[in-house]
Amino acid sequence: MTSVHQATCTRTTEYLVPEVKNKCLCFVNDHMTRDDVCPFLDYIHTMCEEHLDSLARTFITKYSLGVIGSSIFSSFTEITVTDADATANDATAALRLLAKMFRRKLRVIPSQSTFRAHKMILAVQNDVFKAMFYGDFAKEDRIVITDLHPDGVRGLLRYFYSGNLEVANAHQAACTRTAAAKYLVPKLEEKCLSFVNARMGPMDVCPFLDYILTMSEDELDSPAKALIRRDTRGVIGARNFPRSTERTVRYILRYATNVPEAIVVESVYDWAKQQWLTHFFEDDQRPDIRASMLPLFPELRFLALTATEFVQGPIAWKIFTDAEALAILSNIVKGRSMAMPEGFSKIRKNRA
């Protein structure tokens, strides 16, 4: 035998004795070079002998840059993510350099993100991509994904290239976990969950909740819920709180503790102003902060404010009708002195 490809073909001969088959495998293992990897993988995938891909997988892990630098290795796939609503220590340096090279291939265009990745790397690392590229129903070189966030696809691809979870915050980890679940990568799912549990901070809560609540992944909310209960003031004081979704704000109000209601109400007011500026602003239009705050009135404990706080805050902001303002202020001064308007909380205590 003179080549890895020849040894592989010889091994698949139907009537070959086991001893010779083993010698063929030993030859492949001993003589594999960077130029052998791609023909070897092409052949075993065609012959349905994917169980032999561990030989190439080991080589790729050790010499990723050499394999991708091979003149034979030129098959790319393009992955486009459209906005739906929108191991071995010796290999670490090479894999990190490879990940940096990969990141430079990313280009972002309006309403979608496009990634270029090597088909062979994806196929070797993941059975779903293997079926896409080399199965009976192989797709074209361009894959369009409509149900994942670009950060999730980016995290998934970086994991395939480096073997590491490379994310900067809990939001990116949550997006990557969704991608890992879709493409059946349980180890990456575990890494993402561990990252979220260990690294959740006040600045992470709002974007994290925005994502999981939008994606109906409410079962992942435990780290955010725990932090809200422990540091509500830090969460609602974070600079990204005003840009959160209404659903996220409602969630935070549900679990807010140990914070004066005056601070809570003012934070929601700041959020409502930002919502109006973002979604409803027109040059000739007067601000209507009430419209943004109205859905959250049942969650706010106006009766827990002092009369001074109520006058200097909500009344000055003009978010109530005259009748609502009078009824609430009357009940702040003296409980049950007037009937409370519909849609307002009757709780008089601060959050504890």
- Per-residue pLDDT, averaged over 252-278, amounts to 96
The β-bridge relationship of strands 142-145 and 76-82 is parallel
pLDDT of residue 349: 95
pTM, to two decimals: 0.73
Please report how many Cα atoms fall inside a 13 Å half-sphere around the Cα of residue 225, on the Cβ side.
Answer: 10
pLDDT of 273-317, one tens digit each? 999 888 766 656 777 899 999 999 999 999 999 999 999 999 999
Q: What is the pLDDT at residue 87?
A: 34
Q: How many helices (H) and strands (E) does the chain have?
A: 20, 4
Out of 61-70, 183-192, 257-266, which region has the weakest mean confidence (pLDDT)? 61-70
Strand partners, 79: 115, 143
Instruction: Report how far residue 224's alpha carbon sits from residue 255's, in angstroms, rounded to the nearest whole number.
Output: 10
Q: Residue 49 corresponds to which amino acid?
A: E
Q: Which residue has the higher pLDDT, 194 or 138?
A: 194
- Contacts of residue 269, Cβ cutoff 8 Å, sequence gap at least 6: 289, 293, 313, 314, 317, 319
Question: To which CATH superfamily is domain 75-199 assigned?
Answer: Potassium Channel Kv1.1; Chain A (3.30.710.10)
| Section 58-73 average pLDDT | 49
Query: Given this model, what pLDDT does residue 130 score?
Result: 86
Of 262, 257, 264, 263, which is closest to residue 352 (Cα–Cα)? Answer: 257
What is the reported pLDDT for 93? Answer: 42
Nearest 10 degrees: CA dihedral of 214, 217, 222, 223? Answer: -60
pLDDT, residue 78, reads 75
98-120 pLDDT, tens digit each:
444 444 333 333 347 888 888 87
Per-residue pLDDT, 332 = 98
At 37 the pLDDT is: 66
Mean pLDDT, the chain, whole residue set: 82
Could you tell me what percent of the chain has a pLDDT over 90?
54
Joined together, the tokens standing for residue 313 give 């805050």
| Averaged pLDDT, 332-350 | 96
Q: Tell me, what's the pLDDT at 279? A: 76
66-83 tens-digit pLDDT: 444 444 444 567 788 775
Give span(s): CATH 3.30.710.10, the chain: 75-199
What is the percent of the chain with per-residue pLDDT over 70, rounded to a whole number? 70
Give the model confidence (pLDDT) of 213-226 as tens digits: 999 999 999 999 99
- Which pLDDT does position 65 carry in this prediction? 44
22: confidence class by pLDDT, cuts 50, 70, 90? confident
Q: Could you tell me the pLDDT band of residue 32, with boundaries at 50, 70 and 90?
A: confident
